[in-house]
Amino acid sequence: MKKELDFGFKIFAVGDIHGCLTSLENLLEQLPISWGKDYLIFLGDYIDRGPDSRAVIDLLIELKNQYPEKVITLKGNHEWMLERFLKGIDIETYLYNGGDTTLKNYFNFKTGKIEIPLEHLEFLKNLKLYFELYNYFFVHAGIRPGIPLEFQTEEDLLWIRDSFIFSEDEFSKVVIFGHTPFSAPLVLKDRIGIDTGCVYGGYLTAVQLPEIKFYQIPCGGRL
């Protein structure tokens, strides 16, 4: 992995945030990132369950506006569920999976309506399903073994778990993923999982590549 070092920049990927704004702010302060030079890749699930989903998206939009080529935001299954909810699809599924906390963030008490700013809707619409950089493949949930990367389905990229994590196949790129919470980062030869359950009382985790160095903030942002 000399190539990344030769290019003079680092790569950081951040796991599932789920509305934990304070943890995210403290994690970003901890990262030794050179803004505008290093890559910062968010793996999805910015919303639901945690208290500050709207503010998390505000912060991500601000970062993308400042560093559009270096801040990468991927779609998670919770952003996918919110989009379907707004279309009137699987309403109960979204609410059951913590969507009610996000909707409260967007509820206007004066009008009695849920009002999501156009800027936030555009943010959701433009989220990428995956991002490739050198021999890394960044994605929310994982990939279906035995299928070329360009033929992966949206459902697998956003939802897959065991058949990816426990696959004995060796993937052509190192897959950096979230979605499935672990008590500590999962590090395999070709897979690195960095959802460490912040919203469940665990940690918000970032990995620095190619060093595979981890940075963590406990739930609630306590240092």
Active site residues: 78
Question: Cα(115)–Cα(20) distance, rounded to whole angstroms?
Answer: 21
State how far the alpha carbon of 11 is from the alpha carbons of 37, 108, 128, 135, 143, in Å: 10, 38, 17, 12, 21
Residue 11, phi then psi, degrees to nearest 5: -125, 130
The answer for residues whose C-beta is within 8 angstroms of residue 4's C-beta and 6 or more apart is 10, 11, 134, 209, 210
b/e per residue, 17-35, with b = 16+ CB within 10 A?
A: bbbbbbbbbbbbeebebee
Indicate the SS3 state at residue 65.
helix
Q: Which two tokens stand for residue 78?
A: 């919770």
